[in-house]
Chains A and B, each alone.
Chain A
Amino acid sequence: MRVVGVEQDQREFAEFYAAAWDDCLRIVMVGVGDRALAEDLVAEAFTRAWASWRKVGGFAEPRAWVIRCALNAHVSWWRRHRREVALGSHDTTAATSQDPGLDTSLVAALRRLPVRQRQVIALRLLLDLDTATTAEMLGMSGSTVTTHLHRACVALRRDIPARNDQERVQ
C-alpha cells in the first residue's frame, strides 16, 4: 500500500513539475535577473518541494511555495556570494543574462527591494494570488502583505520615472 502511495505521489509531483516549471522559472528570473541562476534555484526549490511533497502538495498553490523557496535560496546564495567577493572578485551574474527582458530598469528596481517585498510582488502580482493566499504562503498577516505590496510599488514607481512619464503621456 505504501509503495502505491509513493508511486502516486511521484506521479502527482511529476505532473506538477511539468506544468509549473515554466511559470516558476519566469517569475524567479524576474526576481533574480539571471536565467542560469534562476534555473538552478528553481531546480533546488523543486527538489525541496519533493522532499516535503506531502505538505507542499496539499497547498492550494504549490507554485507559490516553490517560488518562495527559490527566492529564499537566492538570499542564501547571495550571502555566500558576497563573502566570496573579497577572495575571488566575484562579479555579478547580470553580465551573463541572456534575456533582453531582464535588463530593464523595472527588473533592476525589483532586485533592489528587500526580499519580503520581492516575495510579495512575486506572489501577488506575478503569480496573481489574492492577499489571503499570499499571506498564508508567506506566513504573514494580510495587512502585512498589503503594506509590503504598497511599499514595493512605491519603490518601483519611484525607480522608474521614465516609465511613469511615458505612461502619463499615453
Chain B
Amino acid sequence: MNDDPMLADVRDGLAEVRDSLAKAHPHIPASEIIARASRRRVRRGLASAGAACAAIGLTLGLVLPSGSQARPVHVHLAAWSVDTNPNGTVTFDLRQVSQPARLQNVLAEAGVPAKVRWGKICLARGRHVLLSTEGFVKFSPSKTWQDQPASFFGVTGPGRGGQLLYWSWTINPAMIPSGARFMISAVPPGRVPRNDYQAVWEFVPTSAPVACARSMKS
C-alpha cells in the first residue's frame, strides 16, 4: 500500500475546496468575542454560587428599575443578530432561521417573547388572532423597504438554495402587551412548493393554538 500518492490526492482535493471558498473577514469584532466570554464567566460564577443565587436575585430585583425584566443583549450570529439599544428598543435582524432555540432564548433575554420554529411553518389558527403591533414594532422586510408597522409577514416559494431573508425589526419590549408573542417560522428555501410559505412571522396571543406543517399554502 503506497500512502503518499493517496495522501497527496486527498490533500490536493481538499486544498482545492478550501481555497475555492470566498475570502471573508470576521463580522464579529474581537472585543465582542472577549465580552461574550466574560459574560459567560460571570454567568457560570453566578450559577456555581448555589444558594447565594436567591440573595443575588433579590438584590438585582431591588437594583433594577421596576417593570424591566430585559437585560442588555448583543448577540451577533451569521444567521441573525439581536441588540438592545440605549433607548430601550431591541433591533432584531433575521437572515436565516438557524439555531431556533438559541434565538428564542436570546429574544427572551432582550424582553421579546417569541416562539421560533425551523423546518415547519407555524401559524396561529385563524387570522383574526393577529394582534396590533402599532407603536412598538417597526418591521422592514427587505434591504430597500422602509420600516413599517406590521403584525404578519410571509414570503413564499419556490426560493433559490441559499436565499437569505433581510428581515429587520425594531421592537420596544416595554410596550409589548402581556400574553402575546411573536411566532417566527421558516423552512429551507430550496424545497418550498410554489405559493407555499418559505418564512413567516406574526404577532399573536400566547394562548392561541398553533398549527405547524412542513408545507403551508399562502
Contacts and interface: CB of A to CB of B under 8 A. Distances in A.
Given A35-B78, A39-B77, A96-B189, A126 B3 contact: no
B79 A36 contact: yes
Given A22-B24, A40-B98, A88-B117, A48 B37 contact: yes
A25 to B, nearest CB: 6
B25 interface: yes
Contacts of A71: none
Given A22-B24, A88-B118, A96 B34 contact: no
Given A36-B98, A46-B33, A160-B13, A90 B26 contact: no
Dominant SS at the A interface? helix
Q: Which of B17, B31, B41, B190 has the most CB of A within 10 A?
A: B17
Contacts of B190: 95
Contacts of A95: 161-162, 188-191
Contacts of B95: 36
Interface stretch (B4-12, B59-67, B128-136): B4-12
B40 A47 contact: yes
Nearest to A100: B20
A153 B6 CA distance: 7
A29 B24 CA distance: 12
B69 interface: no
Interface string B68-84: 00000000011100000
B41 A51 contact: yes
Contact of A125 (B11, B28, B41): B11
A121 B119 CA distance: 32
B54 interface: no
A36 B96 contact: yes
A125 B28 CA distance: 28
B15 interface: yes
B99 interface: yes
Q: What class of interface size applies to chain A in its complex with B?
A: 35 or more
Question: Which of the listed residues B14, B41, B95 has the most CB atoms from chain A within 10 Å of its own CB?
Answer: B14
Nearest to B214: A89
B36 interface: yes
B58 interface: no
B26 to A, nearest CB: 4
A163 B187 contact: no
Contacts of A27: 18
A157 interface: yes
A98 interface: yes
Contacts of B101: 80, 84
Contacts of A100: 20
Given A47-B40, A88-B117, A89-B214, A40 B77 contact: yes
5 contacts: A21-B26, A35-B78, A43-B28, A99-B22, A126-B14
The 8 tightest CB contacts between A and B, nearest first, are A39-B78, A101-B20, A14-B30, A98-B162, A95-B188, A36-B78, A95-B190, A21-B26
Interface of A: 10, 13-14, 17-18, 21-22, 25-27, 29-30, 35-37, 39-40, 43, 46-48, 50-51, 80, 84, 88-91, 93, 95-102, 104, 106-107, 110, 121, 125-126, 149-150, 152-154, 156-157, 160, 163-164, 167
